[in-house]
Amino acid sequence: MLFGATGDLAKRMVLPAFYTLAIEGLLPEDWALVGNGRGDVAHEDFRKHVHDALTEFGPAPGKGPWKQFEKRLYFAGGGFDTDSPGSLLDVIGDTREMLGEDAQLVHYFAVPPSHFGELTKALSEHGLAKGSRVVFEKPFGTSPTDFRALDRTVHSVLDESQVYRIDHFLGKEATQNLHVLRFANELFAAMWNNKHIESVQIDVPEDLGIDDRALFYDATGATLDMLVTHLFQVAAEVAMEPPASLDAEGLQSAREKVIKAFRPLDPAEVVLGQFEGYQDVEGIKSRSRTDTYVAARLWIDNARWRGVPFLLRTGKRMAASEQRVSIVLRTPEGPFADLPAQANVLTFSLSGNGEFGLSLLAKKPGVALTVDPATVSLPLAQLPDAEPLPPYARLINDVLLGDRSLFTRPDGLSAAWKAVTPLLENRPRLHKYAQSSWGPSAAAKLASPHGWLLGQ
């Protein structure tokens, strides 16, 4: 069941992911996708909606098994809440006649987080919770208090093993390779500590605006939409201790344990911004104080990372779109003098299928002993027999398989909310920044003395 099936998130991400799985032959032999919404939409009209979404966002329905795929698309209108299931129970009954009574139920909440609690209670009220798997989009709660209330509601209905809190940055190939590169290669494992690493930069600038989701964004902002979700999770992937195992329990435990070591953010080490013209966007309040940019210095209080700043930055309407993790190594002491700073960097591009990069210093060929910067890169899609999946497709496939390795747990989310609470309670002043810039100049001090690698 896809709740919010005609919404923007479903159109851009979830429906293309399902069709990608169909093209790759990764969907179960027998399946049905039932969309749900308030409107009274015929099955045929919903299939056209899905066709149009795929035409706009891909994969194009002209490719792959569209004729077979569309026959398995259904729509249940009339909404769904504790008072009324709309037509959803009837449509589920019809699909169960085709698939069998023991078919695995998967509920995907592609709706604003304010609806999560009511939908969860409605699943219980109408007999759709037992044995099901439920996917919650981020953010899981919109404040520490809201998180705790939602967590209580969810666990009053569902066992934790049924819950899949999705953060698509964890489904990216390069994010997963963060721990593979480290734990499978002694070259990197040996230097993964504060003795060798000077800083870590996790930088996700976006040149896109918020015109297509203004109401949602104005109620959320960059801090809740990106910092306490994606950026914190990627920081945990970089910083976690070697897991006891690579299964769901091992990976989740290692990731959540290090989040508990995140020092609560100091508002003096956070810069918030709003791009010029934001308040002129249709649907935005004329005096909105919503942040469209956040840069923060995060500290991790454990033996491995003590003293290493994690520099986190994201924003809308910036100079470029990037998704990059940079592990900046310390400049060695002697025998070379005056070596440039930040010259030895291991980078992970999280965009697309992912790419590793290594910046280092090498001797320039010639008679003189001249040291020059050099870079090498490895696009992951070029590895032999590589079969990368887009992150949403990867994570939905994991849901269908019952693999929770790349999904968040409540203990980690609770620690993330604890780390961001000082910022929410004592917000620094909001800086205006020009569109197509690298954000407020005040953020430069967070990355001193050497600066941000992107935008220099």
Q: Are residues 80 and 102 in the same domain?
A: yes
195 annotated to a ligand binding site: no
Q: Is 10 annotated as a binding residue?
A: yes
Confirm or deny that 172 is annotated as ligand binding. Answer: yes
Rounded-to-5 percentages of helix, strand, coil across the chain: 40, 20, 40
Tokens, residue 236: 């945990």
Look at residue 246 and tell me if it is in a domain: yes
In a shared domain, residues 200 and 103: no
Question: What is the pLDDT at residue 386?
Answer: 74
How confident is the model at residue 456, as a pLDDT?
Answer: 64
Among 134, 165, 196, the domain-final residue is 165
Q: What is the pLDDT of residue 87?
A: 97
Do 146 and 187 fall within a single domain?
no
With a CB cutoff of 8 Å and minimum separation 6, the contacts of 180 are none
25 is annotated as contributing to ligand binding: no
The domain tally of the chain equals: 2
Indicate whether 402 belongs to any domain.
Answer: no
Q: In this structure, are 225 and 144 located in the same domain?
A: no
Q: Are residues 148 and 185 in the same domain?
A: no
230 is an active site residue: yes
Q: Write down the pLDDT at residue 364.
A: 87
Distance CA 197, CA 329 (A): 4
The answer as to whether 275 is a domain residue is yes
pTM summary value: 0.93
Are residue 7 and residue 148 in the same domain, yes or no? Answer: yes
Q: Is 7 helix (H, G, I), strand (E, B) or coil?
A: coil
Query: In a structure prediction context, what are the per-residue pLDDT tens digits for the chain, which is 456 residues long?
Result: 999 999 989 999 999 999 999 999 999 999 999 999 988 889 999 999 999 999 999 999 987 799 999 999 999 999 999 999 999 999 999 999 999 989 999 999 999 888 999 999 999 999 999 999 999 998 888 899 999 999 999 999 999 999 999 999 999 988 888 888 899 999 999 999 999 999 999 999 999 999 878 888 898 899 999 999 999 999 999 999 999 888 888 999 999 999 999 999 999 999 999 999 999 999 999 999 999 999 999 999 999 999 999 999 999 999 999 999 999 999 988 788 888 889 999 999 999 888 999 999 998 888 888 888 999 998 988 888 877 889 999 999 999 999 999 999 999 999 999 999 999 999 999 999 999 999 999 999 999 999 999 986
Q: What pLDDT does residue 161 have?
A: 97
Residue 399 resides in a domain: no
Strands 33-36 and 2-3: parallel
* CA nearest to 14, candidates 54, 61, 71, 66: 54
> 138 and 182: one domain?
no
- Is 7 annotated as a binding-site member? yes
Q: Are strands 197-205 and 293-298 parallel, antiparallel or unpaired?
A: unpaired
pLDDT at 219: 87
| Residue 5 assigned as binding residue | yes
Same domain, 80 and 179: no
Q: Is 11 annotated as a binding residue?
A: yes
| Alpha carbon distance 109, 48 (integer Å) | 21
Q: Per the annotation, does 4 bind a ligand?
A: yes
Last residue of a domain, which of 112, 133, 165? Answer: 165
Q: Which domain holds residue 224?
A: 169-390+410-447
- Catalytic residue, from 51, 107, 179, 230: name it: 230
126 and 205 assigned to the same domain: no
| Residues 269 and 255 both lie in one domain | yes
Q: What is the CATH number of the domain that holds 97?
A: 3.40.50.720
